[in-house]
Structure 1
Amino acid sequence: MHDPEIILRFLAAPTDAGQSGSVSAGRVLEWIDKAGYAAAARWSGGYTVTAYVGNVRFSRPVEVGDLVEARARVILTGRSSMHVTVQVSSGPPSTGGVEPATQCLMIFVAVDGEGRPTPVPTLEPRTMEERLLSAWAERRTDLRAQVQAVMERQTYSDAGTAPREVLRFLAAPTDVNWGGKVHGGIVMRWIDEAAHVLVTRWTRNCRNVAIFTGGVRFYQPLHIGDVVEVEARLLHTGPHSVHVGVHVRSGDPATGELELTTFCRTVFVVLDEQRRAAAVPRWEPASDEDRALDEHAMELVAIRERFGE
C-alpha cells in the first residue's frame, strides 16, 4: 500500500525571516512545494513535477523559532496526475502545539527519465473523509479552469502604465531540484520577492506580507543557468490590499530569448507598527489596458467568491 500522507517537521530559522520579522511567504511556499513533492513522489514511486498551485491563503504568520509542521496528502489521482493538499502549521517548540498558518491544493505530474507523463497508482477512497476530499478536489476543476482561462486571455503589454518591477538574474546551481531543474518552490519564492519589491515601492513601506497566492501554473521547466526574468505588475488596490500579477520568463543567456515559465496572481497587505493592516495608496488606472487589468483582478475575486473560496 502506498501511504498518501507525509509530515515534515523542522524549526523556522532566522534566515527564513522576511521584512516583517516573521517568516516570509516565499519561504513558506518553498516548504509547501517540498512537502507536496515528497507526498507525490512517494505515492508515484518516482520523480514528479509541480504543475499547479492554487488558493494559498496565509491565515497567520509563522514566527522565527517556531516548530513547523508541513502535512501533505494525496487526495485524488488521474492517469499521471496527483492532487495534493498541503497544510503548514506552526507553534512554539516549548509547547509542542501547532496551529494552521496556510493551506493549499497542488497538482503534481509523474514523469519518466525523458520528462514524459507516466501512470501513477490509483487512489481508492476508503473512508468518508477520503471520499469528501476527493470530491472536493474534483469540484475545484471547474474553478481552476475558469481562473486559468481568465488569466491566459488577459493582455499585458507596454500600453499599460501600471507600476511594475522586473528582477533579472541567472538560475544558480543552488536552485536545483532532484530532477536537475529549478525547484518549483524556488520559483514561487522569486514570485513573492518580486511582488514584495513592487508593493514596497508603491506603498513606501517594506512591512508588507502576502495573504493570498493563486493560479500558479507551471508551463515549462526552468533550467540551471537560464536567464530568469520575474515581472511583477500592479493590477488593483483596495483600502488595505495590493493585487499583483507576476510573470516568470526564462531562456538561454546565449540567445536572450525568453519564454513564459510561470504566471500567478498574489495579494499583499501592508502592516503598521502594531502589525495591523494599514491604508494603501490608491492606484488610478490611466489607460485602457490599466482599466482592463483592474477589472481582470476583480473578475478573479468574483470567480472565487462564486465558488465560496
Structure 2
Amino acid sequence: MRDPEITLRFLAAPTDAGQSGSVSAGRVLEWIDKAGYAAAARWSGGYTVTAYVGNVRFSRPVEVGDLVEARARVVLTGRTSMHVTVQVSSGPPTTGGLEPATQCLMIFVAVDGEGRPTQVPTFEPRSMEERLLEQWAQRRAEVRAEVQAAMERQTYSDAGTAPREVLRFLAAPTDVNWGGKVHGGIVMRWIDEAAHVLVTRWTQNPRNVAIFTGGVRFYQPLRIGDLVEVEARLLHTGPHSMHVGVHVRSGDPATGELHQTTFCRTVFVVLDDSGRAAEVPRWEPVSEEDRALDEHAVELVRIRQRFGE
C-alpha cells in the first residue's frame, strides 16, 4: 500500500519573517501547500493541483530560527481527488520540542499531461485514527458546501464603499511549480500580502497577523507571465478583528481581460506591545452592498460555530 503520510522538516529563515517579526502567515500557507502537494503526488503517483484549502487557524506564531515540521497525510479519496490534512509545528532546534502552530484540510486533484482529472488509488483506513480522520473529512464536505454557497451569493462591485486595496503585477518564472503553473502556495502568499496592506492602512499599524484563512477555492490555473490582480476588501470589523475578502484574478497582459482564479476570506488582528490582540477602528457599512457583505462575514462565523469549528 502507498504511504499516505509525508513530513517536511526545515529551519524558518530570516527571509520568512513578516512585519510582526514572526514568520508571515503567507509563508506558512506556502509550506502547507508544498507539504500537501508532496503527500498527494506520492499517493497519486503523478502531478496534482490544489483545488481547495479550508479552515486554516493560526494558533501560535512560528518564529525565525525555529525548526519547522509540516506533516501531511491523505485521509480520504474520491475518484480523482485526495483530501489531505496538514499540521505545521515548530519550536527551538536546541530543544527539539515542537508545538502545533496551525492545521488545515486541503483537496488536491490528480491530472494527466493534458490537465484532465485522472483516477487515484483508493485510500483504505488501516487504524482507528485513520477511520476517524476519514469520517471527519467526509463531514467537512457539508460545511464546505454551505460556506461555498454563502460566498457565491455575494456581490462585489463598485457600489461597495468599504476600504479596499489592489495589487497588480506579472507572475514571474520564480513562481512556477513542477507542473509549469503558479504554485497554489504562492497564490495564498499573495492573498496574505494584499490583506496585510489593507489592514495596515486601515489601522495605521503594520504589526498585524492573520489568525484564520478559509474557503480558498482555486477555479483555474495561473500561468507564468499572466497579469495578476489581487483585490482585498474589508467586510466586517469586530472589537479586535478585521474580516477581509480577497479575490485573485489573472489573464493575458496584452488584452487586460482578467478571470477569477481564487477567492477566500481571511481574518486579521493587530498586536499590541504585549503580543495581544488590540482594539481596531470600527468600520460602518454605508451602501446596501456594504451591509450585505458585513452580514455575510457574520454568517460565515455562525456557520462554522454551528459545525463546532
Q: TM-score range by the shorter chain?
A: over 0.9
Q: Deviations over 1:238-288 (max 9, x none)?
A: 000000000000000011000000000000000012211111000000111
Shift, 1:179, TM fit = 0.3
- Quick one: which amino acid aligns to residue 36 of structure 1? G
* Local SS of the residue matching 1:295: helix
Q: Distance in 2 between matches of 1:280 and 1:262?
A: 27
2:110 aligned partner = 110
Q: Distance in 2 between matches of 1:191 and 1:124?
A: 35
Question: Aligned pair count?
Answer: 309
Q: Distance in 1 between matches of 2:129 and 2:263?
A: 32
Shift, 1:175, TM fit = 0.1
1:234 aligned partner = 234
Shift, 1:223, TM fit = 0.3
Q: Distance in 2 between matches of 1:37 and 1:241?
A: 31
Shift, 1:153, TM fit = 1.4
Q: Deviations over 1:85-137 (max 9, x none)?
A: 00000000000110000000000000000000000000011211111000000
**Structure 1 length normalisation: TM-score?**
1.00
1:11 aligned partner = 11
- Quick one: which amino acid aligns to residue 251 of structure 2? G
1:288 aligned partner = 288
1:29 aligned partner = 29
1:268 aligned partner = 268
2:186 aligned partner = 186
Q: Distance in 1 between matches of 2:127 and 2:174?
A: 41
> Does residue 224 of structure 1 match 2:217?
no
Q: Distance in 2 between matches of 1:212 and 1:65?
A: 23
Q: Distance in 2 between matches of 1:184 and 1:302?
A: 28
- Quick one: which amino acid aligns to residue 175 of structure 1? D
* Local SS of the residue matching 1:85: strand
1:41 aligned partner = 41
* Local SS of the residue matching 2:195: helix
- Quick one: which amino acid aligns to residue 62 of structure 2? V
> Does residue 88 of structure 1 match 2:53?
no
- Quick one: which amino acid aligns to residue 162 of structure 1? A
Which structure 1 residue ranges, 4+ long, deviate > 6 Å from structure 2? none
Map 1:146-225 to 2 at 5 A.
146-225=146-225
- Quick one: which amino acid aligns to residue 133 of structure 1? L
* Local SS of the residue matching 2:284: coil
Shift, 1:161, TM fit = 0.2
1:308 aligned partner = 308
Q: Distance in 2 between matches of 1:136 and 1:152?
A: 24
Q: Deviations over 1:139-164 (max 9, x none)?
A: 01010000011111100000000000
Q: Distance in 1 between matches of 2:20 and 2:109?
A: 35
1:126 aligned partner = 126
Q: Distance in 2 between matches of 1:20 and 1:144?
A: 31
* Local SS of the residue matching 2:196: helix
2:253 aligned partner = 253
Q: Distance in 1 between matches of 2:152 and 2:40?
A: 27
Q: Distance in 1 between matches of 2:102 and 2:192?
A: 15
Shift, 1:63, TM fit = 0.1
